[in-house]
A = this chain, B = another copy of it.
Amino acid sequence: MEYYTGVTQKKTMEISELLREAKAGDTVRVNGAVHTIRNMGTVAFVILRKREGLLQAVYEEGTAQFPLKNLKEAAAIEAEGVLEKNEKAPHGIEIRIRSVRILSEPADERMPLAISKWKLNTSLEAKLNYRSISLRNVRERAKFRIQEGLTRAFRDFLYGQGFTEIHTPKIGAKGAEGGANIFKLAYFHRPAVLAQSPQFYKQMMVGVFDRVFETAPVFRAEKHNTKRHLNEYTSLDLEMGYIDGFEEIMAMESGYLQYAMGLLQREYAKEVEILGIELPKADRIPAVRFDEIKKLAAEKYNHKMRNPFDLEPEEETLIGRFAKEEWGSDFVFVTHYPSKKRPFYAMDDPDDPRYTLSFDLLYKGMEITTGGQRIHDYKALKEKIEARGMTEEGMEQYLNTFKHGMPPHGGLGIGLERLTMKLVGEDNVRETTLFPRDLSRLEP
């Protein structure tokens, strides 16, 4: 029997530890994957890939007590050597290798992709087929560090605003949004579906915690094959009670975006630099009515509106351009979406029930958020369901919640992969999804 008392200090050092704690001339130990070897004859540069970045190790005959051929690209090694300053090396340091311990070797040294190139020059298809290899490229990897920052910021910001994190079920008896876009499965011989969103659950939990959020997968059986659609994605969801209006929800999202950009600047500066991201300003996000901005954009760009009650992707692009040119903002809230385009639980605008107290947030011309105020009155909700010719079947518990009192409330859902895509400047949402699921892709 022995005792575990907490994290053990490793003898190897990470890059930040080398920079903070070691000085030139110190003997240090590091581990990493051999990213690439550049053999210059008398000397070889062995670039190690570590989680914080690349680290240059220098192999010199005489200093190193082993033959260079012992080192293979894609091997995992532990090296001991002397730290030296070198302005030309990543982070301004390098390790003159003395000895090495091979931790593991690849069975096949021929990599399917040239991951050590700065920019991985290959097709999206190849990147996705070899996902666990393509992400070893430092730039590819950085996108998902940025994605972590966006998720982390969402939670940290909301904890500070009195929200409680919830975990709602992904298997259920009925979808929240209804419609045909639902994955069906057999649940012990009963029909079941995969959750399209945590909508019903987060609303039900507003009556318990006032403010709730969830960061979890959602499933959409949509047959879209576009650059912006996925059949499984991560939704950053929040729902908040006791709101004075749906404006409070947009204010909360503005606060989140400000917090997120601040966190990325502070904690993810390395990745922001690697990807050359210009962090957008979120300190003043314009909001404009759906019907107004449609007209404004149509006039300015001479675009023919086809449907007054819907936004086509092309129109979103124009609205994004309009917001940038006229208001200097990458973000724009489009408010008061038509009632017929919103689910039954959306609250209609009492001033004009053809529209709802709802919004989308566009970022560089693409919808990344849908949100709005919900109906909180039991009778009003029942009437809306009836007016739409819907059945209450499977919604009994949801409706029951309202019967026993619910505060005025609303919320939103942010598509994490889309937000990441726009932030890092990609144009296909698969680029910022670890393992995308679409009409044709179910693996890896």
Contacts and interface: CB of A to CB of B under 8 A. Distances in A.
Interface of A: 1-8, 10, 12, 14, 31, 33, 50-52, 74-76, 78, 103-108, 111-112, 129-133, 135-136, 141, 144-145, 147-148, 151-152, 155, 159, 161-162, 164-173, 183-188, 190, 192, 194, 201, 204-205, 207-211, 216-217, 219, 221, 223, 231-232, 234, 241-242, 244, 247-248, 250-255, 258, 283-288, 292, 327, 333, 376-379, 394, 396-398, 400-408, 416, 434-437, 439, 442-444
A171 B443 CA distance: 9
A242 B12 contact: yes
A166 B434 contact: yes
13 contacts: A4-B285, A5-B283, A51-B164, A51-B211, A75-B405, A76-B405, A105-B405, A132-B204, A144-B166, A167-B434, A171-B194, A204-B444, A205-B434
A336 to B, nearest CB: 13
Counted per complex, copies of this chain come to: 2
B173 A443 contact: yes
Choose among A151, A404, A407 the residue with the greatest number of B CB atoms under 10 Å from its CB.
A404
A397 B444 contact: yes
Nearest to A130: B400
B51 A104 contact: no
Given A50-B210, A76-B405, A6 B232 contact: no
7 tightest A-B contacts by CB?
A: A397-B444, A74-B405, A106-B405, A76-B407, A107-B378, A132-B204, A185-B185
A165 B141 contact: no
Given A2-B286, A216-B216, A442 B192 contact: yes
Nearest to A78: B242
A348 to B, nearest CB: 16
A378 B31 CA distance: 20
B242 A103 contact: yes
Contact of A188 (B167, B376, B439): B439
B397 A104 contact: no
A388 B244 CA distance: 62
